[in-house]
Amino acid sequence: MRRLLNIRPPWGVRLLLGALPLAAVVLVYLGAASVQHSLNPNEKFLPTFSAMVDQARIMALQVDPQTGAIPLWQDTAASLIRLGAGLAIATVTALVLGLVIGVLPLMRATIGPLVAAVAVVPPIAILPILFITFGLGETAKIALIVLGVTPFMVRDLAGHVLAIPEEQIVKAQTLGGSTWQIALRVALPQAMPRLLESLRLSLGPAWVFLISSEAIASDVGLGYRVFLVRRYLAMDIILPYVAWIALLAVIFDLVLISLNRRLYPWAHTARTR
């Protein structure tokens, strides 16, 4: 008998196995919803699929007369701009600081402790400070994302650069490389695939920070909408919104994975299970 850990499902079976739990969740939900609705036609907690589709149509296709815009797209655009700006700033900062800390012992001694100190502060706890400092506009929300994910990315990247074998750095010096040339041609290219991976892992926390700040002070955005309609217990709007956010998150995740594989094929030659 083969060991369980050696049994690897073929491609098609894997797809099927992955779909089963998802299908089970949907079926359980539908069952519960229809039971609830047969007991109480005004049931709000478990909206039926048709109710959710109706609401989703309204949110995604109809112009809201008050704002003159289609809510879902307006919210999506606002949220993605905040998320994109925050992550872009975080990524560039992480690249620069991570390289500098990883390559130069002097800088590691100088800014390493600062980064470590910032990293232990729970970002949500300083959200009030951000609102006080930057006002209730876009800046505070972007700043929360930046402060929330940058320390992790910096430390992750610096650690990765530090882990480049000493032999390689010595070899580069025997090939005449200067500090700058070694940072640029040995450390930077080897940091890039890790940076993309760390960006991918930061997407989850970034969404949390985005939705938190939108829930607290905003007039547009996916998080704002979800918390707004909560007042009316509008589960038929909340659930489609959550599904939409999940879909966006999955798409970004997949895009980053495939981008990483395409741009840095040398980093992905090791066999994976």
Partner 1 sequence: MSGLLQFSQVWVEYGDKVVLEKVDLSVQQGAFVSVVGPSGAGKSTFLRLVLGQEAPTRGAITLDGKPLRAEPGPDRGVVFQRYSVFPHLNALDNVVFGLDCAGSPFSGRLSGARRAAACDVAAAMLARVGLAHALDVYPAQLSGGMQQRLAIAQALIMKPRILLLDEPFGALDPGVRLDMHGLITDLWLEHGLTILMVTHDIKEAFKLGTRVLAFDKRRHDPQAPNRYGSTVVYDFPLDEKTRAAIPAALTAMAEPQSEAI
Instruction: Tell me: does residue 258 bind partner 1 (CB under 8 A).
Output: no
Nearest approach, Cβ of 169 to partner 1 (angstroms)? 9
CA nearest to 92, candidates 188, 208, 180, 178 = 188
Q: Are 153 and 221 in contact (CB under 8 A)?
A: no
Instruction: Tell me: does residue 44 bind partner 1 (CB under 8 A).
Output: no
Question: Looking at 126, 184, 201, 217, which residue binds partner 1 (CB under 8 A)?
Answer: 184
What is the distance between the terminal CA atoms of the chain, rounded to a whole angstrom?
20
Instruction: Tell me: does residue 175 bind partner 1 (CB under 8 A).
Output: yes
Question: Looking at 36, 177, 220, 256, which residue binds partner 1 (CB under 8 A)?
Answer: 177
Q: Summarize the chain as % helix, strand, coil (round to 5).
A: 80, 0, 20
CA nearest to 209, candidates 152, 255, 164, 171 = 152
Region from 11-19, 171-179, 202-210, 214-222 binding partner 1, contact rule CB under 8 A: 171-179
**Closer CB to partner 1, residue 116 or residue 263?**
263
Instruction: Tell me: does residue 179 bind partner 1 (CB under 8 A).
Output: no
Contacting partner 1 within 127-166 (CB under 8 A):
165
Question: Looking at 2, 167, 262, 273, which residue binds partner 1 (CB under 8 A)?
Answer: 167
Region from 36-44, 153-161, 200-208, 262-270 binding partner 1, contact rule CB under 8 A: 262-270
Q: Which residues pair with 69 in a beta bridge?
A: 64
Instruction: Tell me: does residue 186 bind partner 1 (CB under 8 A).
Output: yes
Annotate 186-243 with DSSP letters as a single string: IIHHHHHHHHHHHHHHHHHHHHHHHHHHHHHS-SSSHHHHHHHHHTTT-HHHHHHHHH
For partner 1, the binding residues (CB under 8 A) are: 165, 167-168, 170-178, 180-181, 184-186, 189-190, 264-267, 269-270
